[in-house]
Structure 1
């Protein structure tokens, strides 16, 4: 047998040895790895479709929300887009500087900021390509709705399980308590 060629597709072909550390298989050929590759490739398509307009993906989604839902509280927008507050502040500041968005105090709560499209923002929105439609046309061409539904369900289920796992893990962890530091004596004492 050692001199014979091994057909890896034969029913009882020997399996490749597990990788060092017990993580068998090709780590780059997992559902998670392909989900990440898809995310990066789709982000590249979205960035390329918006580049000529001077917009990034998150700026696009801010304009999308404001054009479809109207004025929106900035804090709520951060939650909707899963963007950290500091990151969103920079994105909004850029859109305000470009004259596409107005940021003003909410009349019912002066601490909150409400975002609105300007006339220039509405005009730009009207001429923007739809990067999500481009993405769907390119990525899903020739893939059946049934296959897309399965892929969506697998990723939804896996995401929910991982989110639940992290939540449970965080709840089980006890905070790290550092011993109180002894007061430092001054040299002149």
Structure 2
């Protein structure tokens, strides 16, 4: 398949979705670098700042990352003194994460990252965005269903 076909066909959706994601992630990482934070660490802090104490297991599901990856991120945030990890009151086996005073202070100093979304999507017609969301939701649902069925891919 020629590169021109990839840029205009169904393969282009995956290509441009991936490129957009990585570009946004790179801008985010650049904005967070002065604070010694990575984007996934930011997402954990965001969750804790907006939703309060959260089970580590729930963050794994919410952020769609591996448990081992989450363990490393939590270890880093613990070492930096930004989060505490305590046993969950209802299930002592589960770990509950919460912001420390230092984590709350840092959260208040972080830049507002909505500029990334604005840079990417301002000026794009709302109907076009709605179509893109609908297409990506449908494709994602189909792929997740495929995984659930245990398809041999």
Q: Is 1:26 paired with 2:2? A: no
Please identify runs of 4+ aligned residues in structure 1 that moved more than 4 A: none
TM-score normalised per structure 2: 0.89
Matches within 5 A, 1:25-174: 26-29=5-8, 30-131=12-113, 133-168=114-149, 170-171=150-151, 173=152
Where structure 1 has 5 or more consecutive residues not aligned to the other structure, the ranges are 1-18, 174-189
Where structure 2 has 5 or more consecutive residues not aligned to the other structure, the ranges are none
Q: CA deviation at 1:164?
A: 2.0
Hey, which of these two has a bigger chunk of helix by percent?
Answer: 2
3-state SS of the aligned residue for 1:142? coil
Could you say if the C-alpha distance between residues 24 and 65 of structure 1 is closer, same or farther in structure 2, counting changes exceeding 3 Å? closer
Which structure would you say has the larger Rg?
1
What is the alpha-carbon distance in structure 2 between the residues aligned to residue 28 and residue 42 of structure 1?
A: 20
For the aligned residues, what is the CA RMSD? 1.8
Q: Paired residue for 1:13?
A: none
3-state SS of the aligned residue for 1:111? coil
Q: CA deviation at 1:46?
A: 1.0
TM-score normalised per structure 1: 0.73
What is the alpha-carbon distance in structure 2 between the residues aligned to residue 157 and residue 49 of structure 1?
A: 32
